[in-house]
Amino acid sequence: MQKTSASTKTHTYSQRLKAALWFAVGKMVDDESLRRNRNATPQFIGALTEMVWTQIENVAIDLESFSRHAGRTTVTTDDVLLLARRNADLHGIIKDFVDEQKAAKVSKGKGKSKR
């Protein structure tokens, strides 16, 4: 009985996430449709949402696999960079962001006084 409850909670959570994704995709499509003076059907939005959902699932599986292969239980920025390795532009954007965050963390740490 406990297994069913956990499974139901997971399914409900997934449905809520997918509904939120549907809303976000729909909003972006609506904004772009207005900007370009075009129409998009609800079926198009649904199909696009399903495609994005599947891509998210694939990315999650890949990131978990990279992390596990490295002997870690937590996904790190190294895993994300490895995932983006075939898209040079995306890899560069992510790498720049990671480097900026690391630099900000270091400079923030230098400003603290030790007692």
Cα separations in angstroms, 106 against 52, 81, 95, 99, 102: 36, 21, 16, 11, 6
Q: Is residue 3 predicted with pLDDT exceeding 80?
A: no
What is the per-residue pLDDT across 14-26, written as a single tens digit (0 to 9) for each? 999 999 999 999 9
pLDDT over 90, % of the chain: 85
Q: Is residue 1 predicted with pLDDT exceeding 50?
A: no
Distance in angstroms (rounded) separating the CA atoms of residues 55 and 65: 15
Distance in angstroms (rounded) separating the CA atoms of residues 97 and 85: 15
Res 15: pLDDT: 96
Instruction: Say if residues 91 and 81 touch (Cβ distance below 8 Å).
Output: yes
pTM metric for this prediction:
0.77
Res 2: pLDDT: 57
What is the per-residue pLDDT across 69-104, written as a single tens digit (0 to 9) for each? 999 999 999 999 999 999 999 999 999 999 999 999
